[in-house]
């Protein structure tokens, strides 16, 4: 069991660091991937060298910007099942994580919280229940049927918005101390 936890932790850490690695080394990654996806490297360099300009005035799609706090974290007011919840974007979290009190407040009943899953957290191993959030929303950006884990209040003090939310967006990027989320 410990072997599985270690393998999961390594995979989660690696996948969490990939977006920032990709942002800073796009051209190199494209060049290395070219032989495997059947695209020549020169074509990929051209497309990678042409940045996609984002103009918030265009109104093309739903978007939200979050400014980093003093510690560099991106926190904001989310709506989970229609209820306001303060949350923090956590690219190191595979899934959305909330504590038992927040789960009850957003309408997840105790019967849905079967704490049989073991999860590896920054504070060590904890028990968690797998649940589904009907709708997770921040501003005009909204994702339905988001998997989440619920932990005891003592194991988790704040709501963490994990990669399973971000990965369902059209794109997200960090630039100049701001996180942009576009649907």
pTM, whole model, 2 decimals?
0.66
Same domain, 19 and 108: no
Beta bridge partners of 85: 78
Among the candidates 15, 36, 51, a domain finishes at: 51
Q: What does the pLDDT read at residue 52?
A: 34
Same domain, 22 and 107: no
Q: Which residue has the tokens 């969490």?
A: 16
Q: What does the pLDDT read at residue 58?
A: 41
pLDDT at 90 over 80: yes
Structural contact between residues 12 and 92, judged by C-beta atoms closer than 8 angstroms = yes
Residue 12, domain extent: 1-51
Same domain, 143 and 164: yes
Same domain, 78 and 166: yes
Q: What CATH number corresponds to the domain at position 115?
A: 2.40.70.10
Same domain, 42 and 131: no
Give the N- to C-terminal CA distance of the chain in Å, as an integer: 38
Mean pLDDT in the chain? Answer: 78
């Amino acid at each position: 069991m410990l072997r599985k936890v270690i393998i999961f932790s390594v995979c989660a850490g690696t996948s969490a660091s990939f977006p920032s690695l990709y942002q800073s080394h796009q051209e190199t990654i494209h060049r290395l991937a070219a032989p495997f996806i059947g695209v020549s490297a020169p074509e990929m360099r051209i497309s990678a060298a042409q940045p996609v300009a984002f103009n918030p005035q265009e109104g093309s799609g739903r978007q939200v910007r979050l400014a980093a706090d003093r510690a560099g974290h991106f926190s904001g007011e989310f709506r989970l099942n229609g209820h306001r919840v303060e949350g923090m974007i956590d690219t190191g979290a595979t899934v959305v994580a909330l504590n038992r009190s927040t789960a009850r407040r957003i309408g997840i009943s105790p019967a849905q919280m079967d704490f049989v899953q073991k999860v590896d957290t920054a504070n060590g191993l904890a028990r968690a229940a797998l649940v589904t959030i009907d709708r997770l929303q921040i501003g005009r950006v909204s994702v339905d049927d988001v998997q989440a884990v619920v932990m005891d209040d003592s194991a988790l003090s704040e709501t963490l918005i994990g990669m399973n939310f971000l990965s369902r967006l059209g794109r997200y990027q960090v630039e100049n101390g701001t996180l942009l989320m576009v649907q």
